[in-house]
Amino acid sequence: MRRLLFIPVLALAACGPAEAPPRPLTAEQSAALSPRDPRLAQLYAGSCKACHTVKDSLAPLTGDRTLWDPRWAQGEAALLSAAIQGKGGMPAGGQCFECTPDDLKTLIRFMAGREDAQ
C-alpha cells in the first residue's frame, strides 16, 4: 500500500528539478539582453533585436520564455527553418545577411532563453 502511494511522487521527480515558472519580460528587460559572444551580439543588434525587443512587432520578445516556450515546443529544427524561410511577419533570415545557419541556431537559443545571455 505504502509503495503504491510513492509511485506518483517518483513520476513527478523524474521530470527533473523543479524550475521556477517563466515570467514575462518588459520590452526594456528584453532589450537589455545580448548574446555573450561579441560577434553574435553584433549580428543580433543589427537584425533580430529591432523586432524581437519591440512588443508592437508581434515578434516573441527575446528572453521571454512565456512567449518562447510554446514555440520552442515545435523543436529547434522547426524554429531554424522558420528563421531561414521566414514566417508571417518574420522575414527570411531575420534580415541578417551575414548569419550562417549555425549563427541563426545559436541566436534562436539565446532569444528563446536557452543560452546564457550577458
73 is a site residue for ligand HEC (CB under 6 A):
no
Kindly write out the interface string for residues 49-68 of this chain, putting x where it contacts ligand HEC by CB under 6 A and - elsewhere. -xxx----xxxx--------
Cα separation, 11 vs 105, in Å, equals 32
- We find the least distance from the C-beta atom of residue 43 to ligand HEC, in angstroms, to be 7
Q: Judging by beta carbons within 10 Å of its beta carbon (0-12, 13-18, 19+), is residue 17 exposed, middle or buried? A: exposed
108 is a site residue for ligand HEC (CB under 6 A):
yes
- The contacts of residue 33 (CB under 8 Å, 6+ apart) are 62, 63, 110, 117, 118
Cβ nearer to ligand HEC, comparing 13 with 78: 78
33 is a site residue for ligand HEC (CB under 6 A):
no
Cα separation, 40 vs 83, in Å, equals 16
Q: And the C-alpha cell for 7?
A: 509511485
Binding residues (CB under 6 A) for ligand HEC: these are: 47-48, 50-52, 57-60, 71, 74, 79, 82-83, 87-91, 94-96, 99, 104, 107-108
